[in-house]
Protein backbone atom coordinates (compact mmCIF):
# COMPACT_ATOMS: atom_id res chain seq x y z
CA UNK A 1 0.00 0.00 0.00
CA UNK A 2 1.20 3.51 -0.75
CA UNK A 3 1.95 5.96 2.00
CA UNK A 4 0.55 9.49 2.21
CA UNK A 5 2.97 12.36 2.94
CA UNK A 6 3.62 12.66 6.68
CA UNK A 7 2.45 16.31 6.82
CA UNK A 8 -1.08 15.55 5.42
CA UNK A 9 -3.91 14.01 7.38
CA UNK A 10 -6.46 11.65 5.84
CA UNK A 11 -9.06 14.45 5.63
CA UNK A 12 -6.63 16.87 3.98
CA UNK A 13 -5.53 14.28 1.41
CA UNK A 14 -9.15 13.60 0.42
CA UNK A 15 -9.75 17.26 -0.39
CA UNK A 16 -7.48 17.23 -3.43
CA UNK A 17 -8.46 14.46 -5.86
CA UNK A 18 -6.33 14.01 -8.96
CA UNK A 19 -7.31 16.46 -11.74
CA UNK A 20 -9.46 15.00 -14.54
CA UNK A 21 -7.88 14.65 -17.96
CA UNK A 22 -8.52 17.59 -20.32
CA UNK A 23 -11.48 17.27 -22.64
CA UNK A 24 -11.80 18.32 -26.26
CA UNK A 25 -14.71 18.66 -28.64
CA UNK A 26 -14.49 18.14 -32.37
CA UNK A 27 -16.76 20.68 -34.10
CA UNK A 28 -19.37 19.33 -36.51
CA UNK A 29 -18.45 19.49 -40.21
CA UNK A 30 -19.15 22.89 -41.77
CA UNK A 31 -21.71 22.95 -44.55
CA UNK A 32 -21.01 25.14 -47.57
CA UNK A 33 -23.49 27.67 -48.86
CA UNK A 34 -24.67 26.35 -52.26
CA UNK A 35 -24.47 29.02 -54.94
CA UNK A 36 -22.83 27.33 -57.92
CA UNK A 37 -25.57 24.75 -58.59
CA UNK A 38 -28.35 27.41 -58.47
CA UNK A 39 -26.19 29.53 -60.81
CA UNK A 40 -25.93 26.61 -63.26
CA UNK A 41 -29.71 26.22 -63.00
CA UNK A 42 -30.26 29.90 -63.86
CA UNK A 43 -27.75 29.70 -66.73
CA UNK A 44 -29.55 26.71 -68.27
CA UNK A 45 -32.97 28.35 -68.00
CA UNK A 46 -31.66 31.64 -69.40
CA UNK A 47 -29.96 29.82 -72.28
CA UNK A 48 -33.21 28.02 -73.15
CA UNK A 49 -35.11 31.33 -73.20
CA UNK A 50 -32.46 32.81 -75.49
CA UNK A 51 -32.62 29.69 -77.66
CA UNK A 52 -36.37 30.13 -78.15
CA UNK A 53 -35.89 33.85 -78.84
CA UNK A 54 -33.31 33.11 -81.51
CA UNK A 55 -35.37 30.22 -82.90
CA UNK A 56 -38.33 32.51 -83.79
CA UNK A 57 -40.54 29.80 -85.25
CA UNK A 58 -43.08 32.17 -86.93
CA UNK A 59 -40.26 33.75 -88.97
CA UNK A 60 -39.53 30.41 -90.66
CA UNK A 61 -42.91 28.66 -90.64
CA UNK A 62 -46.54 29.63 -90.81
CA UNK A 63 -47.43 31.07 -87.39
CA UNK A 64 -50.50 28.80 -87.29
CA UNK A 65 -48.18 25.76 -87.47
CA UNK A 66 -45.98 26.88 -84.56
CA UNK A 67 -47.28 25.76 -81.18
CA UNK A 68 -48.84 28.45 -78.97
CA UNK A 69 -47.77 31.20 -81.39
CA UNK A 70 -50.82 33.26 -80.44
CA UNK A 71 -49.58 33.51 -76.84
CA UNK A 72 -45.80 33.21 -77.15
CA UNK A 73 -45.03 35.01 -80.39
CA UNK A 74 -41.44 34.45 -81.46
CA UNK A 75 -40.95 32.20 -78.40
CA UNK A 76 -43.45 29.65 -79.75
CA UNK A 77 -42.41 26.02 -80.17
CA UNK A 78 -41.73 24.01 -83.28
CA UNK A 79 -44.52 21.67 -84.49
CA UNK A 80 -44.84 18.33 -82.66
CA UNK A 81 -43.77 16.40 -85.74
CA UNK A 82 -40.44 18.25 -85.67
CA UNK A 83 -39.86 18.49 -81.92
CA UNK A 84 -42.18 16.62 -79.53
CA UNK A 85 -40.38 18.03 -76.47
CA UNK A 86 -41.77 21.57 -76.90
CA UNK A 87 -38.59 23.21 -78.06
CA UNK A 88 -36.62 24.82 -80.88
CA UNK A 89 -35.58 23.61 -84.31
CA UNK A 90 -32.43 21.59 -84.87
CA UNK A 91 -30.84 24.44 -86.82
CA UNK A 92 -30.98 26.67 -83.73
CA UNK A 93 -29.35 24.07 -81.47
CA UNK A 94 -26.64 23.58 -84.06
CA UNK A 95 -25.89 27.30 -84.30
CA UNK A 96 -25.73 27.78 -80.52
CA UNK A 97 -23.26 24.96 -79.87
CA UNK A 98 -24.95 21.57 -80.05
CA UNK A 99 -22.59 18.60 -80.11
CA UNK A 100 -22.10 17.34 -83.67
CA UNK A 101 -19.33 14.99 -84.77
CA UNK A 102 -18.53 16.68 -88.08
CA UNK A 103 -18.10 20.09 -86.47
CA UNK A 104 -16.18 18.85 -83.42
CA UNK A 105 -13.82 16.40 -85.11
CA UNK A 106 -13.48 17.60 -88.69
CA UNK A 107 -13.65 21.35 -88.02
CA UNK A 108 -12.05 21.28 -84.54
CA UNK A 109 -14.87 23.16 -82.80
CA UNK A 110 -13.92 21.64 -79.45
CA UNK A 111 -15.88 24.26 -77.50
CA UNK A 112 -18.99 22.29 -78.40
CA UNK A 113 -17.91 19.63 -75.89
CA UNK A 114 -18.92 22.12 -73.18
CA UNK A 115 -21.50 24.41 -74.80
CA UNK A 116 -23.85 21.48 -75.43
CA UNK A 117 -24.23 21.05 -71.63
CA UNK A 118 -26.18 24.32 -71.45
CA UNK A 119 -28.58 23.60 -74.33
CA UNK A 120 -31.83 21.64 -74.15
CA UNK A 121 -34.11 20.21 -76.80
CA UNK A 122 -37.34 21.37 -75.17
CA UNK A 123 -39.29 22.34 -72.07
CA UNK A 124 -39.79 18.70 -71.07
CA UNK A 125 -36.08 18.02 -71.45
CA UNK A 126 -35.13 21.16 -69.49
CA UNK A 127 -37.50 20.49 -66.58
CA UNK A 128 -36.36 16.88 -66.16
CA UNK A 129 -32.68 17.84 -66.09
CA UNK A 130 -33.07 20.89 -63.85
CA UNK A 131 -35.11 18.97 -61.29
CA UNK A 132 -32.33 16.37 -61.11
CA UNK A 133 -29.68 19.11 -60.91
CA UNK A 134 -31.27 20.79 -57.90
CA UNK A 135 -32.13 17.51 -56.17
CA UNK A 136 -28.61 16.06 -56.47
CA UNK A 137 -26.31 19.03 -56.92
CA UNK A 138 -27.39 21.23 -54.01
CA UNK A 139 -26.85 18.44 -51.50
CA UNK A 140 -23.38 17.64 -52.88
CA UNK A 141 -22.33 21.29 -52.98
CA UNK A 142 -23.39 21.78 -49.34
CA UNK A 143 -21.17 18.89 -48.26
CA UNK A 144 -18.15 19.27 -50.53
CA UNK A 145 -18.12 22.89 -51.71
CA UNK A 146 -18.46 24.68 -55.01
CA UNK A 147 -14.91 24.04 -56.28
CA UNK A 148 -15.07 20.24 -56.13
CA UNK A 149 -18.65 20.01 -57.44
CA UNK A 150 -18.00 22.51 -60.23
CA UNK A 151 -14.90 20.59 -61.31
CA UNK A 152 -16.86 17.33 -61.11
CA UNK A 153 -19.77 18.75 -63.12
CA UNK A 154 -17.63 20.08 -65.98
CA UNK A 155 -15.35 17.03 -66.29
CA UNK A 156 -18.31 14.63 -66.14
CA UNK A 157 -20.12 16.56 -68.85
CA UNK A 158 -16.92 16.52 -70.92
CA UNK A 159 -16.68 12.75 -70.46
CA UNK A 160 -20.29 12.34 -71.61
CA UNK A 161 -19.63 14.47 -74.69
CA UNK A 162 -16.51 12.49 -75.55
CA UNK A 163 -18.26 9.12 -75.42
CA UNK A 164 -21.23 10.52 -77.32
CA UNK A 165 -19.03 11.67 -80.22
CA UNK A 166 -17.05 8.41 -80.16
CA UNK A 167 -20.27 6.39 -80.30
CA UNK A 168 -21.51 8.36 -83.32
CA UNK A 169 -18.14 7.87 -85.03
CA UNK A 170 -17.75 4.15 -84.31
CA UNK A 171 -21.35 3.23 -85.15
CA UNK A 172 -21.33 5.09 -88.46
CA UNK A 173 -24.59 6.84 -87.60
CA UNK A 174 -25.62 9.90 -89.57
CA UNK A 175 -24.33 13.01 -87.89
CA UNK A 176 -26.75 14.26 -85.26
CA UNK A 177 -26.84 17.10 -82.75
CA UNK A 178 -26.69 16.08 -79.09
CA UNK A 179 -27.61 18.55 -76.36
CA UNK A 180 -28.36 18.52 -72.65
CA UNK A 181 -26.85 18.47 -69.18
CA UNK A 182 -27.51 14.78 -68.60
CA UNK A 183 -23.87 13.74 -68.98
CA UNK A 184 -22.89 16.08 -66.14
CA UNK A 185 -25.91 15.04 -64.06
CA UNK A 186 -25.10 11.36 -64.44
CA UNK A 187 -21.58 12.29 -63.36
CA UNK A 188 -23.04 13.59 -60.09
CA UNK A 189 -24.91 10.29 -59.66
CA UNK A 190 -21.74 8.31 -60.34
CA UNK A 191 -19.85 10.45 -57.84
CA UNK A 192 -22.51 9.77 -55.21
CA UNK A 193 -21.93 6.04 -55.69
CA UNK A 194 -18.15 6.25 -55.43
CA UNK A 195 -18.46 8.63 -52.46
CA UNK A 196 -20.52 5.99 -50.67
CA UNK A 197 -17.95 3.31 -51.43
CA UNK A 198 -14.82 5.26 -50.55
CA UNK A 199 -16.37 6.66 -47.34
CA UNK A 200 -17.95 3.34 -46.38
CA UNK A 201 -16.75 3.41 -42.76
CA UNK A 202 -18.68 6.55 -41.80
CA UNK A 203 -22.15 5.40 -42.96
CA UNK A 204 -24.52 3.77 -40.48
CA UNK A 205 -27.10 2.17 -42.82
CA UNK A 206 -24.65 1.09 -45.49
CA UNK A 207 -26.76 -1.50 -47.33
CA UNK A 208 -29.90 0.65 -47.37
CA UNK A 209 -27.99 3.65 -48.73
CA UNK A 210 -26.26 1.55 -51.40
CA UNK A 211 -29.48 -0.22 -52.49
CA UNK A 212 -31.50 2.98 -52.81
CA UNK A 213 -28.74 4.70 -54.78
CA UNK A 214 -28.33 1.76 -57.17
CA UNK A 215 -32.09 1.77 -57.83
CA UNK A 216 -32.02 5.50 -58.65
CA UNK A 217 -29.05 5.02 -60.98
CA UNK A 218 -30.68 2.04 -62.74
CA UNK A 219 -33.92 3.95 -63.31
CA UNK A 220 -32.08 6.95 -64.74
CA UNK A 221 -29.92 4.81 -67.01
CA UNK A 222 -33.06 2.98 -68.16
CA UNK A 223 -34.45 6.25 -69.51
CA UNK A 224 -31.52 6.30 -71.91
CA UNK A 225 -32.99 3.39 -73.87
CA UNK A 226 -35.96 5.46 -74.99
CA UNK A 227 -35.96 6.49 -78.67
CA UNK A 228 -33.87 9.54 -79.63
CA UNK A 229 -32.05 9.66 -76.28
CA UNK A 230 -28.25 9.81 -76.35
CA UNK A 231 -27.49 7.09 -73.81
CA UNK A 232 -23.76 7.10 -74.61
CA UNK A 233 -23.55 10.57 -73.05
CA UNK A 234 -25.26 9.21 -69.94
CA UNK A 235 -22.82 6.30 -69.65
CA UNK A 236 -19.77 8.47 -70.35
CA UNK A 237 -20.81 11.06 -67.77
CA UNK A 238 -21.60 8.39 -65.19
CA UNK A 239 -18.23 6.65 -65.60
CA UNK A 240 -16.32 9.93 -65.47
CA UNK A 241 -18.20 11.03 -62.35
CA UNK A 242 -17.79 7.64 -60.71
CA UNK A 243 -13.99 7.74 -60.91
CA UNK A 244 -13.83 11.47 -60.15
CA UNK A 245 -15.75 10.80 -56.95
CA UNK A 246 -12.88 8.66 -55.64
CA UNK A 247 -10.53 11.60 -56.28
CA UNK A 248 -12.60 14.60 -55.18
CA UNK A 249 -15.05 13.34 -52.56
CA UNK A 250 -12.88 11.47 -50.04
CA UNK A 251 -13.80 12.07 -46.39
CA UNK A 252 -11.57 11.39 -43.35
CA UNK A 253 -12.20 7.96 -41.85
CA UNK A 254 -14.43 7.51 -38.81
CA UNK A 255 -12.61 8.46 -35.60
CA UNK A 256 -10.02 10.71 -37.23
CA UNK A 257 -9.23 13.82 -35.16
CA UNK A 258 -7.39 16.82 -36.52
CA UNK A 259 -4.42 17.79 -34.36
CA UNK A 260 -5.65 21.37 -33.94
CA UNK A 261 -8.68 20.11 -31.99
CA UNK A 262 -6.51 18.31 -29.37
CA UNK A 263 -5.66 20.46 -26.30
CA UNK A 264 -1.99 21.00 -25.46
CA UNK A 265 -0.55 18.31 -23.21
CA UNK A 266 -3.23 15.74 -24.06
CA UNK A 267 -1.68 12.64 -25.55
CA UNK A 268 -3.97 10.62 -27.80
CA UNK A 269 -3.37 7.93 -30.33
CA UNK A 270 -4.56 9.45 -33.59
CA UNK A 271 -5.83 7.50 -36.60
CA UNK A 272 -4.53 8.27 -40.07
CA UNK A 273 -6.74 10.64 -42.02
CA UNK A 274 -7.59 8.15 -44.78
CA UNK A 275 -7.65 4.38 -44.99
CA UNK A 276 -5.41 2.38 -47.29
CA UNK A 277 -8.26 1.41 -49.61
CA UNK A 278 -9.14 5.12 -50.05
CA UNK A 279 -5.61 5.84 -51.27
CA UNK A 280 -5.81 2.80 -53.55
CA UNK A 281 -9.09 3.96 -55.11
CA UNK A 282 -7.64 7.46 -55.50
CA UNK A 283 -4.56 6.27 -57.36
CA UNK A 284 -6.41 3.81 -59.60
CA UNK A 285 -9.08 6.38 -60.47
CA UNK A 286 -6.52 8.99 -61.52
CA UNK A 287 -4.84 6.44 -63.79
CA UNK A 288 -8.16 5.28 -65.31
CA UNK A 289 -9.33 8.85 -65.91
CA UNK A 290 -6.10 9.93 -67.60
CA UNK A 291 -5.97 6.81 -69.77
CA UNK A 292 -9.68 7.00 -70.61
CA UNK A 293 -9.70 10.64 -71.67
CA UNK A 294 -6.46 10.19 -73.65
CA UNK A 295 -7.78 7.06 -75.40
CA UNK A 296 -11.04 8.65 -76.53
CA UNK A 297 -9.34 11.84 -77.71
CA UNK A 298 -6.82 9.76 -79.65
CA UNK A 299 -9.62 7.74 -81.26
CA UNK A 300 -11.34 10.94 -82.33
CA UNK A 301 -8.45 13.05 -83.55
CA UNK A 302 -5.61 10.66 -84.42
CA UNK A 303 -7.59 7.83 -86.02
CA UNK A 304 -10.02 10.20 -87.75
CA UNK A 305 -10.89 8.95 -91.26
CA UNK A 306 -12.67 12.25 -92.07
CA UNK A 307 -15.94 10.65 -93.00
CA UNK A 308 -18.70 13.00 -94.06
CA UNK A 309 -22.31 12.45 -93.10
CA UNK A 310 -25.53 14.31 -93.68
CA UNK A 311 -27.16 16.27 -90.86
CA UNK A 312 -30.40 14.61 -89.79
CA UNK A 313 -31.63 15.23 -86.25
CA UNK A 314 -30.97 16.05 -82.64
CA UNK A 315 -30.43 13.80 -79.62
CA UNK A 316 -31.57 15.09 -76.25
CA UNK A 317 -29.73 13.79 -73.20
Residues annotated as part of the active site: 182, 234
CA-derived radius of gyration, the chain: 28
How many other CB atoms are there within 10 angstroms of residue 110's CB atom?
15
CA dist 229 and 242 (Å) reads 21
Contact between 121 and 316 (Cβ < 8 Å): yes
Signed CA dihedral, 8, 11, 13, 15: sign only: negative
CA dist 270 and 256 (Å) reads 7
Q: Phi, psi (5° rounding) for residue 178? A: -115, 130
Contact between 181 and 44 (Cβ < 8 Å): yes
Signed CA dihedral, 252, 253, 254, 257: sign only: negative
Amino acid sequence: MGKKPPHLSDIEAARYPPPPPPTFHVPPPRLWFPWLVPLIFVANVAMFIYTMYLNDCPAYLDEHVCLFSHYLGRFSFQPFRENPLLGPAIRTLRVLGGLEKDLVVDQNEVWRFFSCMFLHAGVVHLLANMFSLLFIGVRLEKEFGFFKIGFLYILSGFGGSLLSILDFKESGMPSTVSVGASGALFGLLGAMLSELLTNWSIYANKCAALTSLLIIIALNLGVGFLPHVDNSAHVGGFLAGFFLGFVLLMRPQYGYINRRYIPPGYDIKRKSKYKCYQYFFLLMSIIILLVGYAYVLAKLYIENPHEKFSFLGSYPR
